[in-house]
């Protein structure tokens, strides 16, 4: 007995979809006991309506037609479960992101199809039970900035063993480079260093510096991690920090901790408060002369040290890889190579190194600085020359630096060129007022360029947007408050972890508002600037949230696994095709057939498509349930071309959701089938879909994934066969997907619809041939 519950979503759905018409179209479909419409299905009265209806109508299958399943599916599952319905006998139909938000005309007809698809799917669903497995209660934290440090300490305090992997020779991240922090002006090293020392001393934390994640296999609750540890060359347990190695080292290179302002030796201490508290050898620049090893009084240096691979298991992972500043290449018009032009991180180091010692401020070429111009939004909010987003912290840190400079050197003239002053945090506005009271001048306008003058000074020309006057200014020092971008290698790390990036190339959150700390992969979370620009306060909030997520997720060391994992029904001829095709090496064979490692298996279903006997199945994603849904989706689509999209649930479906959230309109012809992965598809399913009424098929899968390779191969084979039948192969298309291109998806769908429209509907004779092929 199926109950269908349709949500108006306060006009978000009912604004374009006639929900009453949808209800009337499905209420008499075979198997449907009741169909009801309500204003907000996810509200208490909406949920109560479902509860009452389950009891009154003895429902055992539920279809909810509302927002994206990525929003509330779990909540609806919990509710029906409490009323005695198996949580996996619920179908969540997306009427909002995939319909009402992207269509006007024709939205109701499409909504009817989508709900029909849901109803037909519901009929095929079996009750499923989750499996409980033991999980590893250790965690991996990647990145040792303030976000990673805070996460690691919180987890360690909760009793978990933590592996903290930091790419640099010391933890600390960007915060360690800062002088003081806005708006309270507390000394950055003073608040961070004790936390860094705690990490070093915490017996629950194993710290891997000079290290990066090489690979991650396994699955949620039991990830298997390989870390590459680059040789440090100095044994931190022996190092006395006497500095003799550095003193004799003949090689000097720019000091990255000092933002390149000063030089350091190839044998060097990363910075005074470094953790581990030890020197390191920079093997990229070391000439291996041996002078340091000779000078070391405790034999701590080994110039033959080699990189090592370390392996461990982790139940959950937190990514806290932070940011870099946008490259100078993007800021050419500001002449970053000029000795009078610096970035704001360099000013942090200047304040720390020069002003605290009472020196006057000079440019890199030694000229005394009497006037400074800050250029805010250098590379931010500038999609053509930099990044389109706001870097969020530049306004407050610029005011901070200006106040600090003015306090130390009151004679300085400081001009801040701004696009909009964004001082939204607690106490920030007072701080901004203080800056103006100190005589710091704020000029409303962003100079497009900086011109070096023959006298060594730098000129800025800008239109003051408040007065309309053109202002020309000459200063000795220009500070670029440069855009923050994801740390180098964030993309590569994300693909190793199987998580997605957002449009801005920072790590994508599962849901920006409701689940900002979770990534799109279970058991993997992200904190701090890794998910977008933010200050220390917000990074620490993220970190504490991430540690709670991890402790909740790993619980008492047991985890409920998704039941969508392959099971063998019927006989197996031990052909081994499933073993070969599994991208996660999660299948082995014994004498009775396949043995599935349910932890490593991610339920992609590749094995089910490969099984010639048809015995391997993903429960509730069987061919029968897919075909039933397809039939429902295609009901009554005879008047126009009908397109089916097979979208992987993780990335492609989320991309379609994002396009919906951005209200990017597209033709109503496309109906998207959500599936764990498109590796589940086989030729027969595609022929059947075409036989049932689809005129075009779009398969979308995660770019460069194993599943994408399989989908492309399948499509090539299908195209060949379709061509042999006299049908146009252009009716079948593959779209590799990464989240950042979600805005292109509506155009891709529109173009595909137009192409198929040109080909027209498939003739009844060809449908007949397809039916024969699909048997
Ligand atoms: P990060 O500090 O960037 O730390 C990330 C860490 O991850 C680094 O140690 C990095 O080496 C490591 N890492 C990166 N990739 C990998 C990888 N693949 N594997 C292993 N390790 C990796 N905020 C304030 O609240 N107050 C201020 O006054 C202030 N001033 C600022 C001034 C400037 C000039 C700038 C640019 C920023 C300022 N901020 C300020 C912002 C502050 O720096 C950030 O909020 C904070 O550093 C974010 O911490 P995080 O841990 O997320 O990232």
**Picking from 162-166, 513-517, 639-643, which range would have the lowest pLDDT averaged per residue?**
513-517
Statement: residue 252 has pLDDT above 80: yes
Q: Please, what is the Cα angle at 278 between 275 and 283, to 5 degrees?
A: 110
| DSSP helix/strand/coil, 189 | helix
Six token digits for residue 348: 């942090």
**Is the beta carbon of 485 within 6 A of some atom in ligand 1?**
no
Atom of ligand 1 nearest to the CA of 489: 18
Q: Whose CA is nearest to atom 34 of ligand 1?
A: 345
SS (H, E, C) 693-741: CCCEEEEEEECCCHHHHHHHHHHHHHHHHHHHCCCCHHHEEEEEECHHH
> What is the distance of C-alpha 147 from the center of its chain?
16
pTM: 0.86
Average pLDDT over residues 570-595: 90
**Is the beta carbon of 322 within 6 A of some atom in ligand 1?**
yes
Six token digits for residue 50: 């479902």
> What is the distance of C-alpha 418 from the center of its chain?
30
* 276 upstream amide cis, omega within 30 of 0: yes
Average pLDDT over residues 375-400: 96
Q: Is 616 exposed, middle or buried (0-12, 13-18, 19+ CB in 10 A)?
A: buried
Task: Answer yes or no: are the C-beta atoms of 688 and 774 closer than 8 Å.
Answer: yes
The pLDDT value given to residue 585: 83
Query: What is the CA(78)–ligand 1 centre distance, in A?
Result: 39
How many beta carbons lie within 10 A of that of residue 134, not counting itself?
12
Compute the distance between CA of residue 421 and CA of residue 399 in angstroms, rounded to an integer. Answer: 10
How many beta carbons lie within 10 A of that of residue 545, not counting itself?
17
Compute the distance between CA of residue 642 and CA of residue 363 in angstroms, rounded to an integer. Answer: 66
The pLDDT value given to residue 728: 96
> What is the distance of C-alpha 343 from the center of its chain?
28
**Is the beta carbon of 770 within 6 A of some atom in ligand 1?**
no
Q: Whose CA is nearest to atom 52 of ligand 1?
A: 528
The pLDDT value given to residue 359: 72
How many beta carbons lie within 10 A of that of residue 311, not counting itself?
10
- Tell me which residue has tokens 């890889």: 321
Q: Whose CA is nearest to atom 35 of ligand 1?
A: 345
Statement: residue 364 has pLDDT above 80: no
**Is the beta carbon of 534 within 6 A of some atom in ligand 1?**
yes
Average pLDDT over residues 247-273: 96
Six token digits for residue 541: 């909030």
Average pLDDT over residues 465-473: 94
Ligand 1: residue of 169, 487, 526 to mutate (most ligand atoms within 8 A of CB) is 487
* 302 upstream amide cis, omega within 30 of 0: no
Six token digits for residue 749: 């769908």
Query: What is the CA(213)–ligand 1 centre distance, in A?
Result: 19
**Is the beta carbon of 195 within 6 A of some atom in ligand 1?**
no
Q: Whose CA is nearest to atom 26 of ligand 1?
A: 181
Statement: residue 209 has pLDDT above 60: yes
- Give the residue with greater pLDDT, 584 vs 120: 120
| Ramachandran region, residue 178 (left: φ > 0; alpha: ψ -120 to 50; beta: rest) | beta
Compute the distance between CA of residue 318 and CA of residue 315 in angstroms, rounded to an integer. Answer: 11
The pLDDT value given to residue 655: 95
The pLDDT value given to residue 774: 83
Statement: residue 356 has pLDDT above 70: no
The pLDDT value given to residue 487: 98
Query: What is the CA(494)–ligand 1 centre distance, in A?
Result: 18
Task: Answer yes or no: are the C-beta atoms of 716 and 657 closer than 8 Å.
Answer: no
Six token digits for residue 620: 């509730």
- Tell me which residue has tokens 């017996």: 203
For the chain, what's the residue count?
775
Q: Is 410 exposed, middle or buried (0-12, 13-18, 19+ CB in 10 A)?
A: exposed
**Is the beta carbon of 400 within 6 A of some atom in ligand 1?**
yes
The pLDDT value given to residue 92: 98
- Split at pLDDT 50, 70, 90, the class of 74 is very high
Ligand 1: residue of 163, 393, 431 to mutate (most ligand atoms within 8 A of CB) is 393
Task: Answer yes or no: are the C-beta atoms of 111 and 99 closer than 8 Å.
Answer: yes
Compute the distance between CA of residue 200 and CA of residue 162 in angstroms, rounded to an integer. Answer: 12
**Is the beta carbon of 393 within 6 A of some atom in ligand 1?**
yes
* 191 upstream amide cis, omega within 30 of 0: no
Q: Give the rounded percent of residues in the chain with a pLDDT score beyond 70.
A: 100
Statement: residue 221 has pLDDT above 90: yes
Ligand 1: residue of 154, 175, 184, 380 to mutate (most ligand atoms within 8 A of CB) is 175
Average pLDDT over residues 92-112: 97
**Is the beta carbon of 533 within 6 A of some atom in ligand 1?**
no
Task: Answer yes or no: are the C-beta atoms of 151 and 320 closer than 8 Å.
Answer: yes
**Is the beta carbon of 275 within 6 A of some atom in ligand 1?**
no
Task: Answer yes or no: are the C-beta atoms of 695 and 759 closer than 8 Å.
Answer: yes
CB < 8 Å & 24+ apart, contacts of 182-189: 182/396, 182/397, 182/399, 182/400, 182/428, 182/431, 182/535, 183/396, 183/400, 183/425, 183/426, 183/427, 183/428, 183/430, 183/431, 184/427, 185/400, 185/403, 185/404, 189/273
Statement: residue 98 has pLDDT above 60: yes
Statement: residue 50 has pLDDT above 60: yes
**Is the beta carbon of 489 within 6 A of some atom in ligand 1?**
yes
SS (H, E, C) 620-648: CCCHHHHHHHHHHHCCCCCCCCCEEEEEE
Atom of ligand 1 nearest to the CA of 148: 51
Q: Give the rounded percent of residues in the chain with a pLDDT score beyond 90.
A: 88
Atom of ligand 1 nearest to the CA of 171: 9
Compute the distance between CA of residue 706 and CA of residue 713 in angstroms, rounded to an integer. Answer: 11
**Is the beta carbon of 581 within 6 A of some atom in ligand 1?**
no
Q: Whose CA is nearest to atom 40 of ligand 1?
A: 535
Beta bridge partners of 734: 699
Q: Whose CA is nearest to atom 28 of ligand 1?
A: 181
**Is the beta carbon of 207 within 6 A of some atom in ligand 1?**
no
H or E, element range at 313: strand 308-314
Query: What is the CA(210)–ligand 1 centre distance, in A?
Result: 17
| DSSP helix/strand/coil, 244 | helix
**Is the beta carbon of 496 within 6 A of some atom in ligand 1?**
no
pLDDT digits (tens, 9 = 90+) for 12-36: 999 999 999 999 999 999 999 999 9
**Is the beta carbon of 346 within 6 A of some atom in ligand 1?**
no
Q: Is 148 exposed, middle or buried (0-12, 13-18, 19+ CB in 10 A)?
A: buried
E-strand ranges in 361-439 read 371-378, 413-418
Ligand 1: residue of 141, 142, 143, 169 to mutate (most ligand atoms within 8 A of CB) is 143
| DSSP helix/strand/coil, 414 | strand
- Split at pLDDT 50, 70, 90, the class of 52 is very high
Statement: residue 358 has pLDDT above 70: no
Query: What is the CA(141)–ligand 1 centre distance, in A?
Result: 15
Query: What is the CA(414)–ligand 1 centre distance, in A?
Result: 26
Backbone angles phi, psi at 342, to 5 degrees: -130, 165
Q: Whose CA is nearest to atom 30 of ligand 1?
A: 397
Task: Answer yes or no: are the C-beta atoms of 376 and 362 closer than 8 Å.
Answer: no
Statement: residue 675 has pLDDT above 90: yes
**Is the beta carbon of 507 within 6 A of some atom in ligand 1?**
no
Six token digits for residue 682: 């086989």
Compute the distance between CA of residue 269 and CA of residue 169 in angstroms, rounded to an integer. Answer: 9
Strand order in the sheet with 222-229: 211-219, 222-229, 308-314
**Is the beta carbon of 165 within 6 A of some atom in ligand 1?**
yes
Closest CA to 234 of 266, 271, 194, 196: 266
**Is the beta carbon of 168 within 6 A of some atom in ligand 1?**
yes
The pLDDT value given to residue 357: 57
Closest CA to 718 of 727, 705, 709, 707: 727
- Split at pLDDT 50, 70, 90, the class of 599 is confident
Six token digits for residue 404: 């600090």
Q: Please, what is the Cα angle at 319 between 313 and 322, to 5 degrees?
A: 145
| DSSP helix/strand/coil, 355 | helix
């Amino acid at each position: 007995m199926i109950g269908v519950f349709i949500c108006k979503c306060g006009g978000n759905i009912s604004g374009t979809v006639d929900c009453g018409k949808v209800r009337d179209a499905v209420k008499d479909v075979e198997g449907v006991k009741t169909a009801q419409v309500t204003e907000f299905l996810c509200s208490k009265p909406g949920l109560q309506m479902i509860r009452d209806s389950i009891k009154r109508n003895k429902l055992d299958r539920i279809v909810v037609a509302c927002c994206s399943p990525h929003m509330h599916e779990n909540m609806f599952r919990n509710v029906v479960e409490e009323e005695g319905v198996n949580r996996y006998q619920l179908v969540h139909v997306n009427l909002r992101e995939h319909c009402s938000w992207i269509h006007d005309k024709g939205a109701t007809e499409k909504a009817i199809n989508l709900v029909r698809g849901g109803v037909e799917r519901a009929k095929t669903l079996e009750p499923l039970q989750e499996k409980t497995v033991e999980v590893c209660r250790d965690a991996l934290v990647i990145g040792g900035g303030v976000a990673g440090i805070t996460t690691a300490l919180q987890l360690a305090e909760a009793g978990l063993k933590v592996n903290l992997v930091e790419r640099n020779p010391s933890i600390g991240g960007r915060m360690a480079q800062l002088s003081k922090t806005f708006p309270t002006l507390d000394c950055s090293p003073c608040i961070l260093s004790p936390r860094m020392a705690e990490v070093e001393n915490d017996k629950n934390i194993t710290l891997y510096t000079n290290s990066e994640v090489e690979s991650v296999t396994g699955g949620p609750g039991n990830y298997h991690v390989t870390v590459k540890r680059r040789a440090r060359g100095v044994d931190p347990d022996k190092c006395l920090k006497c500095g003799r190695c550095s003193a004799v080292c003949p090689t000097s290179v720019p000091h990255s901790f000092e933002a390149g302002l000063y030089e350091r030796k190839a044998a060097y201490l990363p910075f005074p408060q470094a953790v581990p508290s030890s020197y390191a050898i920079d093997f990229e620049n070391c000439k291996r002369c041996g002078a340091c090893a000779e000078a070391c009084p405790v034999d701590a240096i080994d110039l033959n040290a080699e990189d090592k691979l370390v392996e461990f298991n982790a139940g959950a992972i937190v990514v806290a890889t932070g940011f870099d500043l946008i490259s100078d290449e993007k800021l050419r018009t500001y002449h970053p190579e000029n000795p009078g032009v610096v970035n704001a991180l360099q000013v942090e180091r200047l304040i720390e190194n020069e002003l605290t010692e009472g020196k006057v401020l000079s440019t890199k070429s030694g000229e005394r600085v009497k006037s400074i111009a800050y250029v805010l939004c250098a590379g931010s909010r500038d999609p053509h020359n930099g990044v389109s987003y706001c870097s969020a912290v530049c306004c407050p840190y610029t005011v901070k630096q200006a106040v600090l400079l003015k306090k130390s050197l009151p004679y300085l003239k400081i001009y801040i060129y701004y696009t909009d002053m964004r001082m939204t945090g607690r106490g920030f506005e007072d701080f901004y007022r203080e800056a103006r009271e100190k005589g710091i001048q704020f000029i409303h306008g962003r100079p497009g360029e900086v011109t070096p003058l023959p006298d060594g000074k730098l000129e800025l020309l800008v239109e003051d947007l408040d007065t309309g006057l053109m202002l020309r200014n000459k200063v000795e020092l220009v500070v670029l408050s440069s855009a923050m971008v994801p740390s180098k290698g964030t993309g590569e790390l994300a693909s190793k972890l199987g998580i997605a990036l957002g449009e801005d190339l920072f790590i994508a959150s599962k849901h920006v508002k409701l689940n900002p700390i979770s990534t799109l992969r279970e058991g993997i979370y992200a904190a701090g600037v890794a998910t977008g620009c933010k200050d220390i306060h917000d990074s620490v909030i993220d970190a504490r949230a991430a540690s709670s997520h991890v402790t909740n997720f790993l619980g008492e060391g047991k985890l409920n696994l998704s039941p969508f994992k392959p099971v063998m029904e019927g006989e197996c001829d031990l052909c081994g095709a499933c073993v070969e095709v599994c991208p996660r090496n999660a299948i082995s064979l014994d004498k009775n057939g396949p043995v599935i490692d349910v932890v490593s298996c991610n339920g992609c279903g590749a094995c089910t498509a490969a099984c010639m006997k048809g015995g391997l199945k993903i429960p509730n994603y069987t061919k029968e349930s897919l075909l039933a849904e397809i039939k429902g989706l295609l009901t009554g689509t005879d008047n126009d071309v009908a397109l089916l999209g097979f979208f992987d649930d993780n990335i492609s479906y989320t991309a379609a959701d994002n396009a919906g959230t951005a209200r990017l309109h597209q033709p109503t012809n496309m109906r998207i089938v959500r599936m764990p992965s498109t590796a589940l598809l086989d030729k027969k399913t595609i022929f059947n879909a075409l036989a049932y009424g689809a005129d075009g098929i779009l398969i979308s899968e995660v770019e460069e994934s194993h599943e994408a390779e399989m989908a492309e191969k399948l499509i090539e084979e299908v195209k060949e066969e379709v061509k042999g039948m006299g049908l146009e192969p252009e009716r079948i298309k593959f779209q590799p997907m990464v989240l950042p291109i979600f805005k292109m998806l509506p155009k891709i769908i529109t173009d595909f619809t137009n192409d198929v429209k040109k080909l027209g509907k498939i003739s009844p004779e060809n449908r007949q041939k397809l039916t024969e092929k699909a048997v």
